[in-house]
Chain A
Amino acid sequence: MNKLAAKYLRPELVPTKACQGCAIGAIENWLLQAIDEMELKQEDVIFGAGIGCVGRQTFATWGGDNFGATHGRALAVATGLKVARPDKKILLVVGDGDAASIGASHLIHAARRNVGVTVICEDNMGYESTGGQFSPTTPAGYVTNSSPYGMAEQSFDPCDVVIAAGATFVAETTAVQWRQTVKVVKLAMQNDGFSFVHIRFPCVQNFGASALGSRDPLVSMEWIYDHTKGKTDDGAETDFAWETGIKHDASNSRPEYSKVLRDLNARVRADMAAGS
């Protein structure tokens, strides 16, 4: 176990139970690095997870207080929790199903309210714990176990959705961008408001096998790498490219949700005390 894991995680639940070649464990280490560089302690952070590969593999690894929500609802739980515990940083680690599909309405409204949570959306571009079906972030045309003729729908980027909804910090990275991920996660957690970090990573077992034709982790990583750059090693343009980096930064520009409510209470109670 590495030093960061020893410092922040539960020894009995590390290493991760994820499939070989999965990046969930590596990304969690990057989150720990950001937390460590911010000099946060275990008790400063509440760790919430969703359902699916990302939720299942990260749940209860954090050494401090943890919750694993029902599918898609981590943000709804966190909204109530933040109101009750505004002093804590809440870090939510969820998948593309949680964030962009079943829990999309909570994502939109948490962004609109500027709830003080950092959402790490680890996006493996499909429902992989159920065996590899397409999700709203599966690139159109790609083959999965529920799109054997190619994913027929249009996909979307959840970053666009949360920016439109009012998120105050939004960034996108991929599993091949270690330093950039650590940097944006730190910025995200320094925003006293709604932060969203979208991290694409490969599922070797399902997406790799169905969409890319190989369970070789290197094939999946290379595909991610190429689409992060927008071109392959031999200079050819990829079929599409992800725009990574900070996509929107309005950190600390408007009051966090629980603060809005506390300020409302203070105003109402002051008026009451003044007899109006």
Chain B
Amino acid sequence: MALSEELVAPWAEWQESYQDGQRLLEAGTYALTEGAVAAGLGVFAGYPITPATDIAEYMSKRLPQIDGYYLQAEDELAGMHMCAGASLGGQKAMTATSGPGYTLMHDAYGWAIVNEIPVVVVDAMRVGPVSGITGAPGQGEFYVSRYCSHGGNIETIVLSPNSVQETFWLTIDAFNLAERFRTVVTILTDQVVADMFEDLFLPGDYGALSDIVVPRRHNLTMPFFPADSSEIDLPPNVIGEGTGVCVSPYTHTEEGYDIEEMEAQWSQTFRLINKIRHHKDEILRYEAVGLDDAEVIAVAYGATARTVKTAVLEARRQGVKAGFLRLISLWPFPDELFERDQPYLVCELNYDGQLVREVMRAAPDKNRVHFMGKSGEMHTVAEVCEALEGVAKHQKMPQQPYIWTEVR
């Protein structure tokens, strides 16, 4: 019986539709730049930081060629505010950073979210805390990307690619979601996927992508901030068209006026949360292999998912019925993917355990959710195979050097 394989993401279809183009050997940062250009990027504003610096350099070369603008900000906080300003002015905007800069962006992040300003933010994660080791991969911003602003009362959209090719398509997708949901979308990539060179197909004519690219539109009428509404696909508000729109950091009315009435607070929150929660199915993206008969399901995202998938296939050759679940949309968290009452083995690049906590919450039996954390370097196929066998046959994680298994 053939192994069941499933990729639920818009580019599963896009890859079939677009076959004319060129094959290159390029890095994830390059694919990301081209994906943004293909999506109609107008302004990139950011501050160089390893391993996202190459994105800034590619942008500085590429954007003037397409009459776009590369702004080098004084810091990441300014960079994301510039993006929000450019987006309000009608341009698709993006910034890219790593953990230290991502943390600085949160001021603007919340402002863009509450004002429903589409912006795409890239975080190429490296091991931390703080500067950590600049050239080593990490997955430490899983929760930070969800709670990327203070004060609560928001949902966020976060996507994570695991290959150079997927980075290209996913970047277009991120821009589409930002437009459709009028919000910030984070691309949570990592040092490996960002820096890795890999064969990359690029369509020859980005103009031919107009069927899949959501264009920028302008909302020219009230309500600017529809209260108690979870409607999506509304055009973003625009400054400079004389609509009289007001954007601000305050709880707002439908016009955008600041207000201190609880009813307005509740209406605004209803919209910010439910425009995403009520359309979770439009955001869900994942890859699954061999779940049907799986006796243990390995869960991972980003670079980690690369070795974990190889390990799952290898474990199957060794007689362990292993399944593979790769999350692509991380937030809103896809609880529905964890309904199977099976043991889960969650692999991620941190010792504290982040993704694993959400899986524990979503899975039927949290005692059968196992953690396999590494720090600063990729899981190896051999390690994950051993762990899959341990969980499948003995219901416990084997002891392995430099691998953390405790969450509590």
List residues of chain A with CB within 8 A of the CB of B43. Answer: 80, 83-84
Q: Is A43 an interface residue (CB 8 A)?
A: yes
**In the complex, are the beta carbons of A67 and B107 less than 8 A apart?**
no
Q: Once the chains bind, are A80 and B74 in contact (CB under 8 Å)?
A: no
Q: Is B17's beta carbon under 8 Å from chain A?
A: no
Residues of A within 8 A of B86 (CB): 80-81, 83-84
B224-281: which residues lie under 8 A (CB-CB) from chain A?
239-250, 256-258
CB contact under 8 A between A42 and B242, given known A60-B248, A60-B257: yes
Report how far A195 CA is from B5 CA in the complex, Å. 60
With an 8 A cutoff between CB atoms, is A180 at the interface? no
Q: Does A269 contact B (CB under 8 A)?
A: yes
Contact between B111 and A69, CB atoms less than 8 A apart: yes
A261 vs B250: C-alpha distance when bound (angstroms): 33
Answer whether residue B184 sits at the interface, using C-beta atoms and an 8 A cutoff: no
Tell me the bound Cα distance from A269 to B244 in angstroms. Answer: 35
Contacting residues, chain A, for B82 (C-beta < 8 A): 76-77, 79-80, 83
List which A93-136 residues lie within 8 A (CB) of chain B. 105-106, 108-109
**Is the CB–CB distance between A43 and B242 below 8 Å?**
yes
On chain B, the residues within 8 Å of A179 by CB distance are none
Among A70, A84, A108, the residue within 8 A (CB) of B42 is: A84
Which of B61-69, B133-141, B370-378 lies on the face that meets chain A? Answer: B61-69
**Nearest CB in chain A to that of B239: its residue:** A65
Would you call B28 an interface residue if the criterion is a C-beta within 8 Å of the partner chain's C-beta atoms?
Answer: no
Total interface residues in chain A, CB < 8 Å: 41
| Shortest distance between the CB of B117 and any CB in chain A (Å) | 10
Q: How far is the CA of A13 from the CA of B69 in the complex (A)?
A: 36
Please measure, in the bound complex, the distance between the C-alpha atom of A46 and the C-alpha atom of B93, giving whole angstroms. Answer: 20
Chain B nearest CB from A129 CB (Å) reads 13
Q: Are B64 and A268 in touch, CB under 8 angstroms? A: yes
Q: Do B74 and A60 touch across chains, with their CB atoms under 8 A apart?
A: no
Q: With A and B bound together, what is the CA distance between A76 and B256 in angstroms?
A: 20
Min CB gap A211→B, angstroms: 29
Does B356 sit within 8 A of A, measured CB to CB? no
Per-residue B-contact encoding for A45-56, CB less than 8 Å = 1, 0 else: 010010100001
- From known contacts A66-B247, A80-B83, A261-B69, infer whether A73 and B77 are also in contact, taking CB-CB under 8 Å: yes
Which of B84, B111, B241 is close to A80, meaning CB atoms less than 8 Å apart? B84
For B68, give the chain A residue with the smallest CB separation: A265
Decide: A64 near B67, CB < 8 A? Known: A79-B82, A80-B83. Answer: no
Cβ contact within 8 Å between A65 and B248 = no
Closest residue on chain A to residue B42 by CB atoms:
A84
A85 touches B90 (CB 8 A): yes
| Cβ B64 vs Cβ A269 within 8 A | yes
B207 within 8 A of A: no
Cα–Cα, bound, A59→B93 (Å) = 25
Given the interface pairs A79-B85, A80-B86, A264-B64, the reply to whether A68 lies near B258 with Cβ below 8 Å is yes
Whether A60 pairs with B78 at a CB distance below 8 angstroms is no
How many cross-chain pairs have Cβ atoms below 8 Å apart between A and B? 149
Please report the C-alpha to C-alpha distance between residue A42 and residue B241 in the assembled complex, in whole angstroms.
11
Closest to B81 in A: A76
Whole-angstrom CA separation of A69 from B239 in the bound complex? 13
Q: A247 interface residue, CB < 8 Å from B?
A: no
Chain B residue at minimum C-beta to C-beta distance from A106: B78
CB within 8 Å of A: which B48-102 residues: 64-65, 67-69, 71, 73-75, 77-79, 81-91, 93
B27 at the A interface (CB under 8 A): no
Q: Tell yes or no: B308 within 8 A of A by CB.
A: no
Does B39 interact with chain A (Cβ within 8 Å)? no
B388 within 8 A of A: no
Smallest Cβ-Cβ distance to A76: which chain B residue: B81
In the complex, whether A63 has a CB less than 8 A from a CB of chain B is: yes
Complex-state Cα separation, A67 to B81, whole angstroms: 12
Q: Which residues of B contact A56 (CB under 8 A)?
A: 258
Candidates B85, B87, B242, B258; contact of A60 at CB < 8 Å: B258
Chain B contacts for A73, CB-based, 8 A: 77-78, 81, 107-108, 111
Option from B65, B74, B241, B258 in Cβ contact (under 8 Å) with A109:
B74
A81 touches B73 (CB 8 A): no
Residues of B within 8 A of A63 (CB): 244
Chain B residues with Cβ below 8 Å from A264 are: 64
8 pairs from A and B in contact (CB 8 Å cutoff): A59-B246, A77-B88, A81-B240, A84-B86, A85-B240, A265-B69, A269-B64, A269-B65
**A65-B241, A73-B111, A80-B93 are known contacts; what are 15 more A-B pairs with Cβ within 8 Å?**
A43-B242, A46-B239, A59-B248, A60-B257, A65-B243, A66-B256, A77-B84, A80-B86, A80-B87, A83-B91, A84-B42, A84-B43, A85-B89, A261-B64, A265-B68
Chain B residues with a Cβ under 8 A of chain A: 42-43, 45, 64-65, 67-69, 71, 73-75, 77-79, 81-91, 93, 107-108, 110-111, 239-250, 256-258
Q: CB within 8 Å of B: which residues of A?
A: 13, 42-43, 46, 49, 51, 56, 59-60, 63-70, 73, 76-85, 87-88, 105-106, 108-109, 258, 261, 264-265, 268-269, 272
